[in-house]
Amino acid sequence: MRQLSMPKSLHEVFGQQQTLAEITIVLLFSLLGTCCICYQYALSATPVSTWKLLLGLLIIADILAGFVANFSRGTNNYYAVRPTSRLVFIAIHLHLPLVAWLLQADIGAATLIWLVTILFALSVNALHRSSLQLFVAGALAGIGVLLVLLLNLPLWFTLVALFFMLKVMFSFAVDHYPLSVREQP
C-alpha cells in the first residue's frame, strides 16, 4: 500500500509514514468506540458537567485511537528506533486516573490499573529485541484483563480500562515488526 508522509506534528501518533487505510481505521475505531462507551456511560453513570464529559470523552478517544495506531507499522517503527521516546510515552500515560476523576469512576481502581499497566509496560519494554517480548506481553495482558474484570467496575469504565491497559502495555510496548521484517523509511 502507498505510504503517506505524515507531518512532524503527527509523528508521535502515526509515525513518519502511514497508509490512508490505517489512518481511516484508527479514526473510525476511535469515533465508534467512543460513541459506544459514551452510550454505556449515559446508561449507568452520574451526570457530570459538560466540560468534564467532553474532556473525558476526548481522552477516551485518544486511548482508543492509540490502541489501534500502535499496531500500525508506521507508529511501531517510529518508536522502535526511539527507545527514549518510548519510555517517555509510557511515563506520561496518566489517562486512566484522569478519566476516572473527570467521569466520577472509582479512582482507587483506576490508580491500581494504571500502576499495573505502567509496571507491565516497562517490563515488556525492557524485553525489546528479545524473542520473549511478545510472549511475556501476552501473558501480562492476560493477567491485566483478569485484574480489570475481577474489579467488577461499570461496563463503560471496564472498557476504557481494558483498552488503556492493552494500548500501553501490549500494542505500544511490544515491537510488532522486529528489524528482520521492518520496512525502512
The radius of gyration of the chain's CA atoms, rounded to the nearest angstrom, is 16
Q: Is the confidence at residue 46, as pLDDT, over 50?
A: yes
Closest Cα to residue 72, out of 129, 125, 26?
26
- What are the phi and psi torsion angles at 143 (to 5°)? -65, -45
Helix, strand or coil for residue 91? helix
**pLDDT at residue 11 is higher than 90:** no
Amino acid at 57: L
Using DSSP's 3-state secondary structure scheme, residue 18 falls into strand
Does residue 184 register a pLDDT over 50? no
Q: Residue 169: what are its φ and ψ, rounded to 5°?
A: -95, -15
What pLDDT is recorded for position 179?
66
Find the Cα–Cα–Cα–Cα dihedral 9, 11, 14, 18, rounded to 10°.
Answer: 100
Residues 136 and 175: their CA atoms lie apart, in Å, by 12
Reported as a pLDDT band with limits 50, 70 and 90, residue 120 is very high
- Residues 6 or more apart from 55 whose CB is under 8 A from it? 102
State the residue for C-alpha cell 500500500. Answer: 1
Residue whose C-alpha is closest to residue 37's, from 162, 182, 135: 162
Residue 135: which pLDDT band, with cuts at 50, 70 and 90?
A: very high
Mean of all residue pLDDT scores within the chain: 92
| Sequence letter at residue 140 | L
Residue 49 main-chain phi, psi, to 5 deg: -60, 155
Q: Are 138 and 174 in contact (CB under 8 A)?
A: no
Higher pLDDT residue, 147 or 185?
Answer: 147
Averaged over 128-143, what is the pLDDT? 95
CA angle, residues 90, 182, 4, in degrees to nearest 5:
85
User: What is the band of 6 on the pLDDT scale with cuts at 50, 70, 90?
Assistant: confident
> Which of 48-62, 70-84, 124-138, 143-157 is predicted with the least confidence, judged by mean pLDDT?
70-84
Angle between helices 20-44 and 155-166 (to 10 degrees): 150
pLDDT digits (tens, 9 = 90+) for 136-172: 999 999 999 999 999 999 999 999 999 999 999 999 9
